[in-house]
Chains A and B, each alone.
Chain A
Amino acid sequence: MTVAFWILALLLIASAIFVITAQKPVHSVAGLLAHFLFLAITYFMLSAEFLGVIQLIVYSGAILMLFVFVIALLSSGVAPFAVGPDRLPKIAAPAVVIIAILLGFVAYAVSREPAVTPALHGVASGPVGTAGVFGSVADFGHALFTLNLLPFEITAFILMVAVVGVILLAGDHVPYVPTRRRARLVESDMREAIVRAGEE
């Protein structure tokens, strides 16, 4: 398990660095997909079964697909998908220094933290996934729908607000309504265009 954790940690860090250093956004999406896969494996190692599955379905399946669609939409125009000059080379050295200092703080704080003693009582042992075993889907659902029902409902509200906001932002602001007046306008426009073409 320890070896698996270190391999996963290396893969997670490597894929995260690939995400932020890749030149094309599509490559970043591929790196992010790998990152989420490794993260799901880490969640399974932490016996968070439901969250691991959700990580694969929601993140890798839905959110990354959204990214891919937006990249396809933006790069489908006449102009190539040009990326402005990045500040990555210019500020790379100071950024590495700052991040190293922050990581030093984290390491210091972690080293001062006393070892965590997990509460070993009150947890039934049994086959993975059965109710009563920590991290099982049954326990997660029970906790979500009893103690945390209100946050769950608020989550539904947040998603609805997001959907309405996206439609308002990206949708057509003036929906096309075929009326008699609009048809007359189109007709007169076409007449003018024909007359102009005849004059030229």
Chain B
Amino acid sequence: MHANLLPVALANYVALSSVIFFIGVAGVVLRRNPLIMLMSIELMWNAANLLFLAFARAWLNNAGHIFAFLVITVAAAEAAIGLAIVVIVFRSRANVDVDEVAMMKG
């Protein structure tokens, strides 16, 4: 096997990444705990990152690495702001249920 070839076919990485992404979607749609919803969003970010790195490896191009790095930074900012919102919303509540937070519902 040539050293520059992918260890596994690229399609396997695409399938694995989409499976993880859909698991994250299911977590956001099905859970009501805001913390677990945020963690599912993290799963989706990471599925996208895995795809970036797999394609970067397939074409031996650094751009995917750069993009994954930027994605990680934005994910960190998103997690910080999301957790701050969770803290201020649920600071005075005993129950942590996103369906009860309907203040901005149209």
The distance from the CB of B87 to the nearest CB of chain A, in whole angstroms, is 5
Kindly state the separation between the CA atoms of A169 and B89 in the bound complex, as whole angstroms. Answer: 10
Kindly state the separation between the CA atoms of A12 and B6 in the bound complex, as whole angstroms. Answer: 19
**Could you tell me if B33 and A20 are in contact, using CB atoms closer than 8 angstroms?**
no
Kindly state the separation between the CA atoms of A139 and B47 in the bound complex, as whole angstroms. Answer: 24
**Could you tell me if A170 and B72 are in contact, using CB atoms closer than 8 angstroms?**
no
Produce 1/0 per residue, B6-48, CB < 8 A to A.
Answer: 1111111011101110111111011111011011101100100
Q: Determine the interface band of chain B, counting residues with CB < 8 A from chain A.
A: 35 or more
**Which residue in chain A gives the minimum CB-CB distance to B1?**
A1
The distance from the CB of A56 to the nearest CB of chain B, in whole angstroms, is 11
Produce 1/0 per residue, A77-102, CB < 8 A to B.
Answer: 10111111111100110010001001
The distance from the CB of A51 to the nearest CB of chain B, in whole angstroms, is 5
**Could you tell me if A144 and B4 are in contact, using CB atoms closer than 8 angstroms?**
no
**Could you tell me if A110 and B15 are in contact, using CB atoms closer than 8 angstroms?**
yes
Kindly state the separation between the CA atoms of A67 and B74 in the bound complex, as whole angstroms. Answer: 16
Interface of chain B: mostly helix, strand, loop or mixed = helix
**Could you tell me if A20 and B23 are in contact, using CB atoms closer than 8 angstroms?**
yes
Q: A32-B42, A59-B72, A165-B84 are in contact. Are A83 and B62 (CB under 8 A)?
A: no
B18: contacting residue among A84, A106, A159, CB under 8 A: A106
Total number of A residues with any Cβ neighbor in B under 8 Å: 86
**Could you tell me if B76 and A2 are in contact, using CB atoms closer than 8 angstroms?**
no
**Could you tell me if A28 and B94 are in contact, using CB atoms closer than 8 angstroms?**
no
**Could you tell me if B5 and A118 are in contact, using CB atoms closer than 8 angstroms?**
yes
A110: contacting residue among B11, B57, B59, B98, CB under 8 A: B11
**Could you tell me if A48 and B68 are in contact, using CB atoms closer than 8 angstroms?**
yes
Please list the residues of chain A having a beta carbon within 8 angstroms of any beta carbon in chain B.
1-2, 4-5, 9, 12-13, 16-17, 19-20, 22, 25, 28-29, 32, 35-36, 39, 42-43, 45-48, 50-51, 54-55, 58-59, 62-63, 66-67, 70-71, 73-74, 77, 79-88, 91-92, 95, 99, 102-103, 106-107, 110-111, 113, 115-116, 118-120, 123, 125, 134-135, 139-140, 143-144, 148, 151, 155, 158-159, 161-163, 165-166, 169-170
Instruction: Beyond A99-B25, A162-B76, list 18 extra A-B contacts (CB 8 Å).
Output: A12-B20, A13-B16, A19-B36, A45-B7, A48-B57, A50-B69, A51-B49, A66-B80, A74-B86, A82-B94, A86-B32, A99-B22, A158-B73, A159-B77, A165-B84, A169-B88, A170-B84, A170-B88
